[in-house]
Structure 1
Amino acid sequence: MNFVEKVGKTIEDAVTEACIELGASRDEVEVEVISKGSKGLLGFGAKEAKVRVSIKEKVKEEPIKLQVKFEKEVPKEVENTKKELPNKEVKKEVKKELKKDSEDFVVVTPEELEEVTGLAMSFLEKLLKEMSIDATMTSKVVNNNRISISISGNNMGIIIGKRGETLDAIQYIVNIVANKQRQEYIKIMIDTENYRERREETLRKLAYKLSKKVQQTRKPIILEPMNPYDRRIIHSALQDSRFVKTHSEGKEPFRRVVISPAYQNKSYR
């Protein structure tokens, strides 16, 4: 049967793992929640969420509509313009999203790093207290120009939130507060339970799985909406592929990555 059962700390984690194994995007599957899981008491007796994920039955009308749309639109533009132009625009856009990582490099002194770390840790401590979260924090300097703060404690799922949205919001606020009086921006990364590392690994696996599917079907795959950080991971994972290309479309917060064949009308070599 074309379904898998997976467990995870949250329902979303379990669904993501299932999508990776099935080689499908979130929009292509149906999810049945077997168990929502439980947080337990003070971290004891916690139970993982369990889901059954299956591939949706394909409806013929959808691919037909997509094909007709592409058949009508592509020739009008391709026949009257050079094929290189759309690819250049796509590459520019992808480079723009990937460029943010290289733009983060700034030269700062140890004293500046210490000052910003102090501001960030102080504000974060107050914020966690307001959220009634009992946690400990550790910080370290990365590449001599960034600050990494790790939060540890019970029920860190509250801090992570759905798909890391709460964690991203906390990181955004802390960066604004700690850099408020500065001209040179020092990036502060906030993580808990290695969520960002696990998320990156999960997204890279998903990117590779879906790229193989695109190669086999020769049809584009549209991923679910992602934040800029997650989109950069997908772009980065596939940027050196000879067989597929990526670009983002839509407006925030519904902007999503599209993985499509590198050569629409040519066989792969």
Structure 2
Amino acid sequence: MRQITASGQTVEEAVQTALEQLSTTRDQVEVEIVDEGKRGILGVFGSKPAIVKVILMKNMVAETENYLKTVTRHMGVDVEITTTVHDNHVTYELNSDKIALLIGKRGQTLNAIQYLAHLAINKDGRKYYTVIVDAEGYRARRKETLEILAERMADRARRTNSKVALEPMPAFERKIIHTSLQNVKDVETYSDGNEPHRHIVIKPNK
């Protein structure tokens, strides 16, 4: 972990000097103020420079991308990864000629890879990230499939006038079902069971 000590007329000037030397940005460093400095008379006489220690933090987004390449390589799959960052949300898009192996049955393998990525990127605890690991647009296709499933199972609940339990799903997939049916007035949804067997129940409103 690189760190340097820099000085300037103000703390901000000292920080900026350090950032330039480290070729990085403010959100990638930790700043420790050693001395706030002193402006002095007329800004000259008796002035004292501000001194800061700036520590370059690990780039957890890049480290996690490398981690995903290692994990998939151990699975016998070479991947290309496109990484997109929006604030604290990171999406890793995997591309490979063996993409089906990375997705697995109903996305179970991809969900496991995503869980590992979530642990890896948040392991230092400095900044919390939410993570999506996708594979050639699988998440969008799965979302569409779940929305169709939600409509079909809601219709079954109406016709039979009884509860319908869906298969166990991870939390972010259950959310898709809940959201899909939240404005449907004649049925309601809730989650039941314990992880990893927690599932959605669709219940008709009488």
Alignment TM-score > 0.5, same fold: yes
Tell me what 2:99 maps to: 156
Q: SS at 1:246's partner residue?
A: strand
Structure 1 Cα separation of the partners of residues 89 and 167 of structure 2: 30
Tell me what 1:189 maps to: 132
CA contact (8 A) 2:69 2:78 kept: no
1:95-244 pair list within 5 angstroms: 111=28, 115-142=59-86, 144-244=87-187
Q: Which amino acid aligns with 1:139?
A: T
Alignment partner of 1:245 out of 183, 188, 193? 188
Deviation at 1:111, TM superposition (A): 3.8
Deviations 1:229-267 (A, max 9, x none): 22111111111211100111122222221101122xxxx
The TM-score with structure 1 as length reference comes to 0.53
Deviation at 1:167, TM superposition (A): 0.8
Deviation at 1:127, TM superposition (A): 1.5
Q: Which has the higher contact order (CA 8 A, sep 6+)?
A: 1
Deviation at 1:110, TM superposition (A): 5.7
Structure 2 Cα separation of the partners of residues 183 and 261 of structure 1: 45
Deviation at 1:194, TM superposition (A): 0.9
Q: Which amino acid aligns with 1:195?
A: Y
Unaligned stretches of 5+ in structure 1? 1-108, 264-269
Unaligned stretches of 5+ in structure 2? 1-25, 30-57
Q: Aligned in 2, Cα 1:110/1:197: closer, same or farther, shift over 3 Å?
A: farther
Q: Which amino acid aligns with 1:177?
A: A
Structure 2 Cα separation of the partners of residues 155 and 161 of structure 1: 11
Q: Please state which structure has a larger fraction of its residues in strand.
A: 2
Percent identity between the two aligned chains:
34
Structure label with greater radius of gyration: 2
Q: Please state which structure has a larger fraction of its residues in helix.
A: 1
Number of equivalent positions: 154
